[in-house]
Chain A
Amino acid sequence: MKKRKISLLIVLSIVFLLSSCDISTLLDSFKGNVYEDVFDMDLVGEQAQDAVNSVVEASEPESVSEDEAVDSSGNVNVGEDAVDTIVVPDDIAEDVEIPTADVDDVDDLTPNTVAVFNEGVPTLPVQDEDEKDEIKATVNQALSGEGEDSFIESLEEDAEEEQIIAAHNTKVIANKVLNKVNGELETSGVPEGVSDAISALADELGNKLPENPTQADILNAQLVANLANSMVNALTVMAGDGDLSDIDDIDTDDPEVQEALDNVRSDAAFLINVARAQGATSDLINSIDLTNILSLFEGDGEEARLARAAITDTVDENFLPYLNAFKTSINLVLTKVLGVDITSSTPEMDYETFKAAVSSYSLQRTAFDLFVSSSEGLTYETIDGDQRSKYCGITGVVNYTLATVFDNVKPALDKIEEALEGGSTPYTIEEIVNLVLQANTDFIDPSEYTAPLEYTIPDGISDIDIEALQTELDITTSVELYITNVRRLAELGVPKNDLENSVLIQLVDEIETSIDDALNGGESGDSGEGE
């Protein structure tokens, strides 16, 4: 009896103690690791550094002597017998002409010219499938969980001089080779989407390295070169004994062709993952109100209407408000990416964040294009499950759309950077926002965006003649490519027998209609309501 009374007293005391505790304080007190707190250990940081060291080691420049690498005309010899940073058929290698120039340091590097440094031509190595798999495993592991920030921070180490020259040379050679390859494909039966994707990859390689390159820039150059190699190899396999111009179509039943395309897709997926981490773009996804978008896909008529009502405050039967939700979310993302904190009284712009996101998404777009073009013949049921969940379906549609939107901004941003370098006066914040919107008028109605009223303008940015600069911009929105690829990503995320009824596919249909209307001067899909 006494024991029973004591038991009851203890139970009541515990209940009273727990209910009077602040749960968050209680939970916080248990968070953390003793080894990290007391012994100041950072194993995640050490693992990230190990991963970066592995990456640097795997991309150690290889140098071919000037005598072997440069011909009598002063052009670099491309191909197996000389500089083989891009493995290409001999007939194409012979036709590629790239001038060379002696350099003493990175300041002497010139666009479209291969640098001869210390009597050799340094380039990034050609990595075979085993080497690539090892790096992918190491880096994907380092990017997992809390490790992502540490890994990206470790990649910010300055690159060595020879690495920078090697990366420059690799990009120049790969750019020329891919342009040559694309030329060969003009008369072939290869789908236009593939050719467009290769063109985008060549353009990416044509971009010069940033000032003061870091290990991240070297890694990106290596990954883009790997992707170029995989793509050229896949085309060579498709051509068989013939020339690239003889390729009839992509034979997806040929196991060798499928294996080659698998390698392209794997390299593209890896590049998306690394680029995404560098731009911290996963934070953007978490800030988008995906709850509402996803609920629209999963609900039938009743749930869909109710879910839409939460966003638009209107209830109607039309699917077009799906597009509203999507556009609303893109606008929200733009606000977040521009770093304008609209909840504070004096919003400040984070230009560096903006630049990082644009670079990251531009790279992702290129990689997505190649991911899609190498998925020929695959369906929801046959594509690798990991690739399907990370890069297809709703995740793929959202990420690819964002990548396209920001890729369209890149030419404008390059102009801003040029203007800054030349000492000209660059844009105001409001004008940069306008540039983003105007670069994407096929996707976003600028009138739907309400800019914050006040900005703190960072140093070095002030007023500019916006009209004069706009005429110099050459933004080409490849709408057809976007629609083709986003539809393909949606289809890969939906089981075959659900394709006809899929709400995700219907959304892509509505996006296409809306874009057609915008291009043809019609109403933008009747979606101006409900913002």
Chain B
Amino acid sequence: MKNIKKILISLILIGLISSTSVFADPDPGLLDSATQEARVSAFMPTSSHRMAMGSAGLGLAGFYDSYLYNPANISKDGFKFVLPSITLTVNNVYNLMEPDSGENVVELAQQVGDSDEAAIDLATLFLKSIPFGYGEILTLDANTGFKTRNFGLDLAVQEKLRSYNGGSDYTTASAISETSVALTAAIGFNVPLVSDYITLDLGASAAFNYKMYSLAIDANEILNLFNHMDEGADLILENIPFASGYAVPVTVGANLNLPLGFTISGVGRNFNGNYNMVAYSNLKSLINNDETIVAFIGEDTFDDEESEVTISDEFSVEVPWTLDLGVAFAPSTPLDGVLKAQLALDFIDCYSLIEDAIKETKTATQLKSDALESINIGAQVRLLNLLDVRGGFSQGYKSIGLGLDLLVLHLDASYYWKEYGEVLGQSPSDALSVKFSLISR
């Protein structure tokens, strides 16, 4: 009997020791305020040309990605194909180029390799450029896809580095990595209401959105990374908890096309947009165990078994739906081949603004700010079917941009400011975005 007990206890102990998976609650850091924006934000690809136009243009077509923002736009033009489109967005440009003291990012970057302090000075400038509260640091988008007049399919990948500083100086700044992959399918069609005079575009899209985000990486670790770039991969793979999951949001849109080039648009975004997520003790364990990743690349990508793996129970992240409305003016004139102008005025997230006002969940100041922040105005002038000049106001902040069509290569650049605080003026930050796309623009 004693021997059986010993064997049983030994078996239990062996089982415990050899187990590499422990199910637990998610790391609290993955659910706290620092990671909130990464956790609850819906996927939205970066559109350099839209940002240049003050983020306006709900009812405007002419670009491949127009249907990704409003599925009703799919029937506004014909076949388009991008292979691929890459957009790089760098945030906090003003703080990096015009720091309060010391050298700017260009001057410091030139010293890396020649000076041993340059890496640390660069890291400190980087930390000091991060705004207080929530913000963004860098975003890289890549997508490929095609559309016809009634159907579109797009595969997009986005790596976004977010920031959070809940303290009062740069030593409390942190960075959060967020990676998204979205496969979107859209359909749409045009319905004549009064012959071709007044028509209605209707469209809908559904997406499989996969997201993973990290714990907030604090200032000390960021400095360590800058100082030991060669160890960065190990730090990220083995020491930082991640959460990952998916959502299947649905977006519906409609355009009422009126005479003289006017369009009134409405888009309901992110229905069924909640994410189902699981947290992992590090990126290696995520890659080895996440069902979506395993389905594509197989199990046990990493054979490393030295670290104990913790996988949490599934948890849900609520992502509310939103309603955007817009008015666009894109007249067709005989001069279109030489000069074509487009104007747009959008009202973003109207439903939650009305809901907050009715339920009195926000102060009068916050409601005023939300109302002003929902207004986006933009304009674009296309010259000789070659060059686009764009400008606008988003949340009252200015934006500007250029677009160039060089046969199959299309370039778009934009510079804009955006509000990240609770009220206008609290925490604005700027960004420079550049997009390269092949085949269609």
Contacts and interface: CB of A to CB of B under 8 A. Distances in A.
A144 B220 CA distance: 22
Contact of B400 (A30, A145, A298, A395): A30
B424 A298 contact: no
A384 B32 CA distance: 9
A277 B397 CA distance: 28
Contacts of B167: 389-390, 395
Contacts of B133: 144-145
Contacts of B393: 34
A114 B428 CA distance: 48
A41 interface: yes
Contacts of B320: none
A7 B386 contact: yes
Contacts of B364: 50
Contacts of A36: 396, 424-425
Contact of A47 (B28, B131, B372, B426): B426
B168 A276 contact: yes
B406 A7 contact: yes
Most A C-beta atoms less than 10 A away, residue of B29, B369, B396, B397: B396
B102 to A, nearest CB: 9
Interface stretch (A80-88, A248-256, A282-290, A463-471): A282-290
Contact of B218 (A30, A389, A398): A389
A41 B427 contact: no
Interface stretch (B92-100, B285-293, B349-357): B92-100
A303 interface: yes
Most B C-beta atoms less than 10 A away, residue of A23, A35, A143: A35
Contact of A145 (B131, B407, B415, B430): B131
Contact of A306 (B116, B121, B368): B116
A72 interface: no
A27 B99 CA distance: 12
A297 B219 CA distance: 12
Given A35-B396, A36-B396, A10 B404 contact: yes
Contacts of A291: 117, 120-121, 124
B223 interface: yes
Interface in A259-279: 273, 276-277
Most B C-beta atoms less than 10 A away, residue of A6, A33, A42, A290: A33
B151 interface: no
Contacts of B28: 384-385
B117 A145 contact: no
Given A7-B404, A295-B223, A145 B168 contact: no
A299 B395 CA distance: 43
Contacts of A299: 227
A43 B404 contact: no
Contacts of B399: 30
Interface string A298-316: 1100010011001000000
Most B C-beta atoms less than 10 A away, residue of A7, A23, A46, A47: A47
Interface in B316-343: none
A286 B169 contact: yes
Nearest to A303: B227
A10 B32 contact: no
Interface in B93-130: 93-94, 97-98, 116-117, 120-121, 124, 128
Is the contact region of chain A dominated by helix, strand, or loop, or is it mixed?
helix
Interface string B184-218: 00000000000000000000000000000000101
A79 interface: no
Given A47-B365, A291-B121, A389 B174 contact: yes
A44 B372 CA distance: 13
Contacts of A398: 171
A30 B425 contact: no
B404 A145 contact: no
B274 to A, nearest CB: 24
B146 interface: no
B88 interface: no
A148 interface: yes
B366 A47 contact: yes
Interface string B147-180: 0000000000000000000111111101000000
A147 interface: yes
A395 B219 CA distance: 10
A87 to B, nearest CB: 30
A27 B396 contact: no
A24 B386 contact: no
Nearest to B173: A389
A33 B397 contact: yes
B417 A35 contact: no
Contact of A35 (B32, B171, B424): B424
A47 B422 contact: yes
B169 A285 contact: yes
B53 interface: no
Contacts of B170: 286, 290
B195 to A, nearest CB: 36
A268 to B, nearest CB: 15
Interface string B125-142: 000100111000000000
A163 to B, nearest CB: 23
Contacts of A144: 132-133, 166, 421-422, 426-427
Interface string B397-422: 11110101111000000010100011
A413 B147 CA distance: 74
Contact of B220 (A27, A285, A394): A394
Given A6-B384, A43-B424, A144-B421, A34 B368 contact: no
A394 B124 CA distance: 14
Interface in A1-56: 3-4, 6-7, 10-11, 14, 23-24, 27-28, 30-36, 41-44, 46-47, 50
Given A23-B97, A43-B369, A386 B33 contact: yes
A282 B415 CA distance: 30
A480 interface: no
Nearest to A30: B398
A294 interface: yes
A491 B182 CA distance: 42
Contact of A31 (B174, B363, B417): B417
Contacts of A389: 34, 166-167, 172, 174, 216, 218-219
Most B C-beta atoms less than 10 A away, residue of A144, A146, A395: A144
17 contacts: A24-B97, A30-B430, A31-B94, A35-B396, A43-B365, A43-B426, A44-B425, A143-B168, A144-B426, A145-B427, A285-B169, A295-B120, A298-B223, A299-B227, A307-B116, A390-B172, A395-B171
Interface of B: 28-29, 32-34, 93-94, 97-98, 116-117, 120-121, 124, 128, 131-133, 166-172, 174, 216, 218-220, 223-224, 227, 363-366, 368-369, 372, 384, 386-387, 393, 395-400, 402, 404-407, 415, 417, 421-428, 430
Interface of A: 3-4, 6-7, 10-11, 14, 23-24, 27-28, 30-36, 41-44, 46-47, 50, 141, 143-148, 273, 276-277, 282, 285-286, 290-291, 294-295, 297-299, 303, 306-307, 310, 384-386, 389-390, 393-395, 398, 493
Given A44-B423, A298-B224, 8 more contacts: A6-B386, A27-B94, A34-B397, A43-B372, A282-B169, A286-B128, A389-B34, A390-B166
Of all A-B residue pairs in the complex, the 9 with the closest CB atoms, nearest first, are A145-B427, A282-B168, A285-B169, A35-B396, A145-B132, A33-B396, A46-B365, A145-B426, A43-B423
